[in-house]
Amino acid sequence: MENQPRDATAAVPAKRRLLVTGASGFLGWHLCRAAQATWRVEGTYHQNTPPLPGVTLHTVDFTDLDALKPWLEELAPDAIIHTAALSQPNRCEQDPHLSYQLNVEATRLLAQFCGSRHLPFAFTSTDQVFDGQAAPYSEDSVPSPISVYGRHKVEAEALVQALHPAAVICRLPLLYGPPSPTAECFLQGFVRTLKAGQPLHLFTDEFRTPAYVEDVAAGLLFALENTAGLLHLGGPDRLSRYDFGLRMAATFGLDQNLILPGKQADVAMPAPRPADVSSNSQRAFGLGYRPRSVLAGLSASAER
């Protein structure tokens, strides 16, 4: 036996296959990149093809449930993190039917698929399941959505809990960080406005606990296999949009005088906006989730 050539790969277990839905999205792209260290990653996109070397990509329309089920059965992933969504509250308010198809029905199908096969499943929900009147919100707080987006996420959460009690439902805060090649967060728009010398009106009466996108990706990957039920993945700092803007301008070397205070009531938008949906994320912190501070996250964003 000793003289026989050894198969160097024989002892290395094959990586399991993780399906990330919404790989072309802001979070999904960062998540695929982070997941590649430990998983063989499969990603879905709909309209935008994301450059993701090493990730197997699939074009999927999550409104076509009849096609989705057989496709999933054939793909047979070992786990799923579901980030595909109609994620803009204003669009959900304007097109509740599409919001329901994407945010509720597609989630139901994925939860059913994973639940019936006992596969790890993580669903990305939102801090917008709360009305913003009683922050900070923990996992024990009772949902009180005020928008179509929030209501549909609450409905999807309930379905996930019923169909797959071992799944994890991560309620995400406002996310920021470097853009993906196919998706941006609000930060890039803010920076463009200031670079153009234009004023930026930001709410002094809207509070969030923002988190750096790569930290949330790491939190999701950990949560997928290590916990179940509701989990808040908020950042460590509670601040207003206005204060966030001031810190962003300072970090990016842009003119802070262009940041002007505004109030939610000054701007009419299709979706009602909760005033303060700051998260209490002590449960996640206790599990080892360590999102960086806003200042550290902005510095990391400015470097990319």
Ligand X SMILES: NC(=O)c1ccc[n+]([C@@H]2O[C@H](COP(=O)([O-])OP(=O)(O)OC[C@H]3O[C@@H](n4cnc5c(N)ncnc54)[C@H](OP(=O)(O)O)[C@@H]3O)[C@@H](O)[C@H]2O)c1
Query: Pattern of binders to ligand X over 173-192, x per CB under 6 A?
Result: -xx-------x-x-------
* Least distance between ligand X and beta carbon 22 (Å): 3
Nearer to ligand X, 28 or 120 (CB): 28
* Least distance between ligand X and beta carbon 153 (Å): 7
Query: Pattern of binders to ligand X over 53-92, x per CB under 6 A?
Result: -------xxxx-------------------xxx-x-----
Residue nearest to ligand X (CB): 25
Query: Pattern of binders to ligand X over 141-180, x per CB under 6 A?
Result: -------------------------------x-xx-----
Identify the residue among 3, 4, 47, 257 touching ligand X (CB under 6 A). 47
Place of tokens 């960080």: 177
Nearer to ligand X, 46 or 201 (CB): 46
Question: Does 207 help bind ligand X (rule: CB under 6 A)?
Answer: no
Nearer to ligand X, 87 or 281 (CB): 87
Query: Pattern of binders to ligand X over 27-46, x per CB under 6 A?
Result: xx----------------xx
Question: Does 102 help bind ligand X (rule: CB under 6 A)?
Answer: yes
Nearer to ligand X, 258 or 264 (CB): 264
* Least distance between ligand X and beta carbon 126 (Å): 4
Cis preceding-peptide flag for 181 (omega within 30 of 0): no
Question: Does 25 help bind ligand X (rule: CB under 6 A)?
Answer: yes
* Least distance between ligand X and beta carbon 198 (Å): 23
Over the chain, what HEC string results? CCCCCCCCCCCCCCCCEEEEECCCCHHHHHHHHHHCCCCEEEEEECCCCCCCCCCEEEECCCCCHHHHHHHHHHHCCCEEEECCCCCCHHHHHHCHHHHHHHHHHHHHHHHHHHHHHCCCEEEEEEHHHCCCCCCCECCCCCCCCCCHHHHHHHHHHHHHHHHCCCCEEEEECCEECCCECCECCHHHHHHHHHHCCCCEEEECCCEECCEEHHHHHHHHHHHHHHCCEEEECCCCCCEEHHHHHHHHHHHHCCCHHHEEEECHHHCCCCCCCCCECCECCHHHHHCCCCCCCHHHHHHHHHCC
Tell me the chain's radius of gyration from C-alpha atoms: 20
Residues that bind ligand X (CB under 6 A): 22, 24-28, 45-48, 60-63, 83-85, 87, 102, 124, 126, 172, 174-175, 183, 185
